Amino acid sequence: MQRRAGKSGTIAGTIAGVSALGMAAVLSGCGLSQGSDDVTLRLVAADYGDSAANSSEKYWDKLVAAYEKDHPNVTVDVTVLSWNDVDAKVKEMVDAGNAPDMAQIGAYADYAADDQLYKAGDVLSIPVEADFVGQLADAGKVRGVQYGLPFASSTRLLFYNKTLFEKAGLTAPTTWAELAADATALKQDGVKYPYALPLGSEEAQAETMQWLLSGGGGYTQTVSSYSLDSAENVATFGWLKNELVGKGLTGPVAPGKLDRADAFAAFTNGDVGMLNGHPSLMKAAAKKGVKVGMVPMPGVDGPARVSMGVADWMLAFRKNGHADQIGDFLDFVYSEENVLDFSREYDLLPVTNSASQVMSTVKQDADLQPFLEELPLSQLYPVGWTSWAQVSAAVKQEIGRAVTPSGSPAAILGQLQTTAATAESAAGE
């Protein structure tokens, strides 16, 4: 396939809902040829909404209608599933030999390793491929080749309840010691969760990574090896166990039993003094009348030098062909207008430089600018490693035990390192 210098504008297509013919294509597992030039593409996408009112179905419906005007011969059937189901459903489809043409999900590395995906350069026009934010594009690479197309991103900041802080006469912390001192004062004022530490199975890998980075460590030490049991990481979890959890500063629920969603809900109810949060928490808190302050994650001696970044991915599967049609549609998906619409609707950061430049300068997006400033300093999960899914699952399952009264950070992190090393070795075979 020849690379396109820009949007071709030559591929005719229509995006429509699932029709009888479209359903036949879904069931048959291949693109439907309605005529000599007609193609049906299937896209399975995750739902970023928190209610029917802002379901991602509405975003895709609007995008569909706009694309339909200029493309009468391509039908794109979009199926939106919850985050609880979408990754598993796509895997089920792929394992059954019924891969969709595109999937917007949380991981891509396994499919890339199995040679099931188009390279970014096989489908996207050169300007669109070049517009991805640099570290997000790099995170989408396996062995130096980009397969994962970033679709949504966010960074994390330390959120604090301004009302509770003002009542206690506190200022936002910049160091771990200041965070612990603020948490102590909040506890004395009767705050239920002075610092909410969600190390439950829902998203423990995120809270863990944020703290590891703030302590000068992380999940990986080199481009090819894990370092979960590094001295820095052991010290970080030792501090959490002794200075926060052990002193009763993390609330009534044991960190290993506290999920992110429950921590966020407690924050919006005014029961949390501080926690790590992403952009969507701003809107949820505002709806409940909680006044929010946000600062970079504190570190040992000052604000952490590196923040945690997160990205979700668009995948283009090779199973059914249609590289040109997929590419033309994705060029439209990644246009500046559509990226901005999605990012603003769901309080997420844009994955393209062009949309990021707009957001960084207009008043409309002022609330997201602190997160945009953190993005160039952020580090993402090692999503390009096929072992990461197994390692992430192990962290979710085990890391909460490191801060229990009888838990040993060194022992738990050592066990996780063994799991990680074994998984990476198996992935390389």
Tens digits of residue pLDDT in 113-141: 999 999 999 999 999 999 999 999 999 99
CA separation for the pair 206, 140 (Å, rounded): 18
Whether the per-residue pLDDT at 220 is higher than 90: the answer is yes
Q: What is the pLDDT of residues 348-403, one digit of tens each?
A: 999 999 999 999 999 999 989 899 988 888 899 999 898 998 999 999 999 999 99
- Mean pLDDT, rounded, for 166-186: 98
Q: At 429, is the pLDDT very low, low, confident or very high (cuts 50, 70, 90)?
A: low
CA separation for the pair 262, 279 (Å, rounded): 16
- Mean pLDDT, rounded, for 167-182: 98
Contacts of 366 (CB under 8 A, 6+ apart): none
Q: Show the domains of the chain with their CATH numbers.
A: 20-153+310-380 (3.40.190.10), 157-296+387-427 (3.40.190.10)
- Count the neighbouring beta carbons within 10 Å of the beta carbon of residue 112: 23
- Residue 286: predicted pLDDT: 92
- Residue 27: predicted pLDDT: 35
Closest-CA residue to 241 (of 400, 395, 413, 415):
400
Q: What is the pLDDT of residues 311-335, one digit of tens each?
A: 999 999 999 999 999 999 999 999 9
Averaged confidence pLDDT in the chain: 89
Q: Is 320 in contact with 101 (CB distance < 8 Å)?
A: yes
Instruction: Report the percent of the chain where pLDDT is more than 70.
Output: 91
Helix 280-287 × helix 260-268 angle, to 10°: 40
Q: Is 46 in contact with 59 (CB distance < 8 Å)?
A: no
Structure-block tokens of residue 427: 């992935």
Question: DSSP string spanning 147-162?
Answer: --EEEEEEE-EEEEEH
Of 20-29, 160-169, 229-238, the poorest mean pLDDT is in 20-29
Whether the per-residue pLDDT at 53 is higher than 90: the answer is no
- Residue 292: predicted pLDDT: 97
Whether the per-residue pLDDT at 24 is higher than 60: the answer is no
Single-letter code of the amino acid located at 242: N
Q: Is 95 in contact with 29 (CB distance < 8 Å)?
A: no
Q: What are phi and psi of 220, to 5 degrees?
A: -130, 150
CA separation for the pair 424, 296 (Å, rounded): 32
- Residue 39: predicted pLDDT: 86
Residue with tokens 């999605």: 342
Q: What is the pLDDT of residues 65-95, one digit of tens each?
A: 888 778 888 888 999 999 889 999 999 999 9
Of 35-39, 296-300, 318-322, 391-395, the poorest mean pLDDT is in 35-39
pTM for this prediction: 0.82
Q: Is 263 in contact with 281 (CB distance < 8 Å)?
A: no
Closest-CA residue to 23 (of 85, 86, 75, 94):
75
Q: Is 131 in contact with 352 (CB distance < 8 Å)?
A: yes
- Mean pLDDT, rounded, for 286-293: 95
- Residue 177: predicted pLDDT: 98
Structure-block tokens of residue 83: 């985050």
Q: At 64, is the pLDDT very low, low, confident or very high (cuts 50, 70, 90)?
A: confident
Q: How far is CA 347 from the centre of its chain?
A: 12
Burial of 81 (0-12, 13-18, 19+ CB in 10 A): middle
CA separation for the pair 84, 92 (Å, rounded): 14
CA separation for the pair 22, 345 (Å, rounded): 28
SS3 171: coil
SS3 231: helix
Q: At 18, is the pLDDT very low, low, confident or very high (cuts 50, 70, 90)?
A: very low
Whether the per-residue pLDDT at 235 is higher than 50: the answer is yes
Q: At 179, is the pLDDT very low, low, confident or very high (cuts 50, 70, 90)?
A: very high
Whether the per-residue pLDDT at 44 is higher than 70: the answer is yes
